[in-house]
Structure 1
Amino acid sequence: MACSVATHNTKSNPPVTTTGSDSDSGINGNTNNTNRLNELKFDVFESITNFAGNFDLDPDQNFYKNCTNLSNYFLCDQFACKFKTVDTQKSFSSIHFNARSLVKNLDAIMEFIETLHFQFDIIGISETWCNENSPPLNIPNYTLLSKNRNGRVGGGVALYVSNLRSYTQRNDISLTNISCDSIFIEINQNHGKNIIVGVAYKPPDVNSNHFVDDFDKILTTIDKENKLNYIMGDFNLDLLRYTSINSTQDFLNILYSNFYLPLINRPTRITSNTATLIDNIITNSHDLPVTSGILYCDISDHLPIFQITSFINDSFQNDVPIQSYRLINPLNIENFKQDLATNGWDDAQMS
C-alpha cells in the first residue's frame, strides 16, 4: 500500500485562530481539521525576505538555496511507511514531546514511539514536571539525562540518548534564566562533525526579550565550535504571529543572524479554538537532506515533532566548507544602483 502524507490544499479561510484561551485538544487527524491546519503555515523564506529587505540582493537567498521548509502532519502508520527504509547508520534523528508530566505520560510516550517502528537517536522531553522524588523513568535501550526545575513546580527537560550513540554531556551550555530549563549534549561522530543537541523550555510567563537575549548567547557560543547543532523544545513564541509580536521577530532575527532555521512551520499546539506554532527544532544544518514533521498524538495538548537528517552528502563526510554566492544579473545590478541612489550618504561623508 502506498504511503500518504496528511496534506490537503484548500482556498477557504480556516476557522481556527491563533489566539485564545487554553482548552482540550481539537485535533484528531480527520480531513476537515487537516485542511484547516494546512492553511496555517509559517514561511521561513518570506520572513527572511522581510528581515533582509531586498531578497534579490541578499546572500541569504543563496545560502539557504538547498533548504526546504515544509513540515507535514503524519499519522503513525504514515510515518512508519514513509521512513521504514531509512538507514539509521547514515542519519541522525530526534523527536520532541511536551510531556506535561513524564511520570504520568511516559508509558503512553513509549507505546506511541513503538507504533512508529523507528529508533530515534534522541528523544527530547520538555515539561517533565519531575523532581528529586520522581520514580525511575527509563526507556529501554536509551540513557536518560534530565534537569529538573528547582524551587518551582512544573517545567523540567530531559534527553533520552540511544545506547548506540557515544556522547558527552555539555554542562557548559545552558540558559542562564533560572525560570527556563535546558540541557545539552555533544554526540561524538567517527566521521564528520560532532553534533550538539539540546532541549529547551521557556514558560509562557517568562519575559520573552530576556529569553531571546539568553538564547542568542547560546547560539553564539556553540557556533564557534563549527559543529552541527540541533535545539528542540517548547519556546512559547508563536512563529505564525512573527509579523505582529516584536519578541517573536527578535527570536527569528537571532536565528537568521546566526544562520539557523526552524524546521517546523505548521501549528504544533492545537485546541478547539486555537492553533499556535510554539514547538520547534532549530538547526544550523543547511547542506544535508532533512525531513521534518509533526505527528498526530493526543498524549498532551502539544503534538510531537521530529527531524531526520541524512548523512549521504559528501561535503559532510569530508568537511568541505559551504560556498555561498550572490546572484548577479542586470536586474539585481539595477536594483543595487537604485538602493545606492536612494540611501542618505550625508553621515558617511561627514565621517
Structure 2
Amino acid sequence: MAISVSSRQSTTDMMTSTSPKFHLLSESGLRVGHLNVYHLLNKVPDISSFLNNEHPCIHLLGLSETRLDYRMSDESIAIPQYLTFRRDAIKQGETGLAIYIHSSIQSITTRRADLESQSVESLWVEISHSKSPSLLVGFIYRNPTATYAWYDEFLVMLDKVADNKKNILLLGDLNIDLSKSHSAWESTYSLVGLHQLVNKPTRVTSTTDTLIDHIYTNRQDLVHNVSVPNIGISDHYPVLCTWSMKLPRHAPKGHTTIQYRTFKRFNKDIF
C-alpha cells in the first residue's frame, strides 16, 4: 500500500527576516518538538501562536493525531514561515502525522519517505548541512490498541534507519507510560541503540499523570534543553529538545531604504 506524501511551502512566508523571533544564529542549535494535537484543522491558530512565540525558534514541530484527509488542503493548515509535510491516515488504526519545518532550514531538509514503514505510522526527514553530521529526525505514533507485533515492525523500521549510519532523533506519542517500568519496550528500543530522554508527565488529567510522549536518540551527548512545557493546546503537553548542530546563516531579505538630507552642495551665502 502506498504511503501518502504531500509537501508545500506557504505562499505567505515572505515575512521579513529582521523580525527578532525569526533571526537564527548558527550556534543556537536545531530546536525540535512533538505534540499530539488531536485534530489539527481547528487548532492551526493555536499551533501558529505557539510556533511564533517560542524563543528561540522551533525549527521542526511534529504533530500526531492530525486527523486530516484528502478533503483538507495544505493551504488549510498553512502557517507563515513554515513548510509542511504530512502523512494522512491510510488504514485503520492510523490517525495522521504532520511536520512544520521553519523556512531557515528548508534548504537543508529532505523528506525520507523511503524510511517510513507501512506498518508503523511515521514521518522521517533528513537534515544535511556541510558544517554538521547529517541527522535523521522521525516522528511516530503508536495506537494504544496496537499488539506486541508492533514492536517487531518498529525494529524492522529502525534497522533500516540505522543502515544509513547517521545520527537519529525520534519523537512521538507511543502510548507507553514510561513513568512505570516497561521492560519489554525498554528492551526493544535498547536493541537499536536508542535512549529515552523525557522524564516528566506529558499527559495530565484530574486522575492520572502519564509519560507517553517520548524523545529517543542514539547520541545523548548532542541533545540538550529537553523540556515539557505546560501548554494546553490539546490534552497532551509538547516535548521539546535542542540538537547541537550548526545551522546556515541567512542574510536579510529585501532592501532597506534610508532617507536623509545631504549638505554636500550646500552654499551658505546663496541660502
Q: Normalization by structure 1: what TM-score?
A: 0.59
Residue identity opposite 2:65 in structure 1: E
Any conservation in 2 of the 1:130–1:154 contact (CA below 8 Å)?
A: no
123-132 vs 168-177, which moves further: 168-177
* Percent identical residues: 27
Higher share in helix: 1
Any conservation in 2 of the 1:176–1:214 contact (CA below 8 Å)?
A: no
Is 2:31 the partner of 1:89? no
Alignment counterpart, residue 168 of structure 1, candidates 110, 114, 121: 110
Any conservation in 2 of the 1:216–1:254 contact (CA below 8 Å)?
A: yes
Rounded Cα–Cα distance in structure 1 between residues aligned with 2:220 and 2:94 = 35
Alignment counterpart, residue 234 of structure 2, candidates 289, 300, 319: 300
1:46-99 C-alpha deviation (Å, 9 max, x unpaired): xxxxxxxxxxxxxxxxxxxxxxxxxxxxxxxxxxxxxx9x97423121011111
Residue identity opposite 2:97 in structure 1: V
Any conservation in 2 of the 1:189–1:195 contact (CA below 8 Å)?
A: no
Q: CA RMSD in A?
A: 2.1
1:211-241 C-alpha deviation (Å, 9 max, x unpaired): 2111112222222222111111101111122
The residue aligned with 1:324 is none
TM-superposed CA distance for 1:310, in Å, is 2.5
TM-superposed CA distance for 1:171, in Å, is 1.2
The residue aligned with 2:59 is 121
* Gaps in structure 2 of 5+ consecutive residues: 1-20, 247-271
Distance 1:287 1:87, change over 3 A: farther
TM-superposed CA distance for 1:109, in Å, is 1.5
The residue aligned with 2:216 is 282
The residue aligned with 2:164 is 225
Alignment counterpart, residue 309 of structure 1, candidates 236, 243, 246: 243
1:108-135 C-alpha deviation (Å, 9 max, x unpaired): 1111233323311201100001001114
1:50-89 equivalences under 5 Å are 88-89=25-26
Distance 1:289 1:98, change over 3 A: closer
Higher share in strand: 2
Alignment counterpart, residue 98 of structure 1, candidates 12, 17, 36: 36
The residue aligned with 2:196 is 262
Residue identity opposite 1:94 in structure 2: V
Rounded Cα–Cα distance in structure 2 between residues aligned with 1:290 and 1:182 = 23
The residue aligned with 1:198 is 138
1:302-341 C-alpha deviation (Å, 9 max, x unpaired): 00110012238xxxxxxxxxxxxxxxxxxxxxxxxxxxxx
How many aligned residue pairs are there? 220
* Gaps in structure 1 of 5+ consecutive residues: 1-83, 243-247, 313-351
Distance 1:117 1:153, change over 3 A: same
Q: Normalization by structure 2: what TM-score?
A: 0.75
